Amino acid sequence: MDTRSNSHSLAFEVTHRLVLSIAIPMTLGFLTTPLLGLTSTAVVGHMGDPEPLAGLAIGAMLFDLILGSFNFLRASTTGLTAQAYGRRDQHEQQAVFARALISALGCGLALLCLSPLLRAAGLRLMGAEGAIAEATATYFSIRILAAPAALANYAILGFVLGRGQGGAGLLLQALINGINILLSIYLGLSLDWGVAGVAWGTLAGEVAGALAGLFIVLSGFARAERPAWPEIFSRHRLAELFALNRDILIRTFVLIGAFAIMTRIGTGFGAVTLAANAVLMNFFLLSGYYLDGLANAAEQITGRAVGAHYRPAFDRGLKLTTLWSFGLAVIVSAFFLLAGPWLISVLTTSPEVRQAAGTYLPWAAVTGLTGALAFLMDGLFIGATWSVDMRNRMLMSFAGYLAMLAVFVPLFGNHGLWLAMNAFLLFRGFFLAMLVKPRADQTFRAAQ
């Protein structure tokens, strides 16, 4: 009786307006990130030589592998915050943020200490040599200084998303990437610092974003709801957070590893093909960040529904976010098929790279469509904190990806590489979608 009464009092309605109030600001915010990638590629691409651009591609991939492996800081913070928000537990929301921020700063400092080893291992892993290796090392040595601020931004963004504050997320993403873009252009082109200028721009953007984010989050906390240190470091809560982070870490590491493998195989096709793939990956990232806005809406609504023990909001949220995700994916894929050749010409002045990128453009253009379900399912499973399923289904998808690479790369070269990547995106979405109904039934039945 008490549970049903409390559940009823925490009920909320999911509408198109609610979905878009989260998705649109975050889509605009995330859109600045691929714009940053486009700017960085254009700045270095206009140097005229493929080697610096290839070096930037490898350096960016290394940071996707390293910092992206810590995406669990954002994901777990979003899910746990959304569930506490659904319960209207302001005390636990502050505790979740404190645990996330402390974890982020600790991990960032550890990365700084390990940076010489990480740089050497990264260059060896990616097989970079000569001028390519020099450009990668320059970029890495500067950008790694931003690690504590970058990981703190993960925790901050996860918290504001968990509370459904899309406007705050947009502001922070625009600030981080806006500063980065402006300084990359000024330092990289105007001062002719090249790859180093792009890296310094990234450092400045991350630090500015972390300071602004802390001010926004902390100024919204009520002193009366502040948790004590023993509560923040509660053994039960830390064990729950560790298990969640462990599963998401494995899932994220495998995901980023899949893209690292793609770059590593692309390196074997030569600097021109590697540079062409780097240009086309910006199209995939652009599609992904559009879809991520809707995935964030799914995270918040799902987590809030689980916290409130309210199944109708869960089902309605899944329906609406699915509708918007696939509708947007069709539009974005069509746009890249039509506008792709012009965008390629903007991103690089190298005739060889332009020709190669045009050859493989259709594969990159459809990644938004093949990845739509994967992004949506990631958001839903993060919000519900079904982390074990995310981990296991990612491992299954990765096994399928490796099999596709083994078969199709020897047969079709770089075409086979892009075919395997699109198949990997499809695997991820369908394997998770198969579990939604049984997991939802189990979760909401246990809450009754």
**Max intra-chain CA distance, the chain:** 71
Q: Per-residue pLDDT for 274 more than 90?
A: no
Instruction: Please tell me which residue, 429 or 237, carries the higher pLDDT value.
Output: 429
Is residue 69 within 8 Å of 245, Cβ to Cβ? no
Rounded to an integer, what distance in angstroms lies between the CA atom of residue 258 and that of residue 277?
A: 14
The residue that leads in pLDDT, 429 or 1, is 429
Q: In angstroms, how far is CA 21 from the centroid of its own chain?
A: 20
- List, for residues 138-164, the tens digit of each pLDDT value: 888 888 999 999 999 999 999 999 998
194 alpha-carbon distance from chain centroid: 26
pLDDT at 435: 96
Number of other residues whose CB lies within 10 A of the CB of residue 53: 32
Least confident stretch, 122-136, 167-181, 222-236, 346-360: 122-136
Residue 6 predicted with pLDDT over 60: no
pLDDT band at 369 (very low <50, low <70, confident <90, very high): very high
- Stated pTM of the model: 0.81
The label of the residue with tokens 């982020």 reads 104
State mean pLDDT over 414-424.
Answer: 95
pLDDT score, position 3? 43
* Average pLDDT, integer, range 320-341: 92
Token digits of residue 430: 């369908």
The values of phi and psi at residue 144, to 5°, are -65, -20
pLDDT tens by residue, 308-319: 999 999 999 999
Over 50: is that where the pLDDT of 5 sits? no
Side-chain half-sphere CA neighbours of 204 within 13 A: 15
pLDDT at 12 over 80: yes
The pLDDT value given to residue 35: 64
| Residues near 86 by beta carbon (within 8 Å), at least 6 away in sequence | 10, 303, 304, 305, 306, 307, 308, 310
Least confident of 21-30, 380-389, 414-423: 21-30
Per-residue pLDDT averaged across 235-259, rounded? 86
b/e map 372-404, b = 16+ CB within 10 Å? bbbbbbbbbbbbbbbbebbbbbbeebbebbeeb
DSSP assignment of 230-245 equals: HHHT-HHHHHHHHHHH
Q: What is the pLDDT of residues 80-128, one digit of tens each?
A: 999 999 998 888 999 999 999 999 999 999 999 998 998 888 877 777 6
Instruction: Name residue 367's amino acid.
Output: T
Between 131 and 306, the more confident residue is 306
What was the pLDDT predicted at 172?
93
Q: What is the pLDDT of residue 49?
A: 65
* 3-state SS, residue 111: helix
What is the average pLDDT across 420-443? 96
Q: How high does pLDDT run on average in the chain? A: 87
C-alpha dist (Å) from residue 312 to 1, 321, 444 = 19, 14, 10
First to last CA, the chain: 10
Provide the percentage of residues in the chain whose pLDDT is more than 90: 47
Q: State how far Cα 254 lies from the chain centre.
A: 13
pLDDT at 4: 46
127: its two tokens: 């097989």
Distance CA 125, CA 258 (A): 13
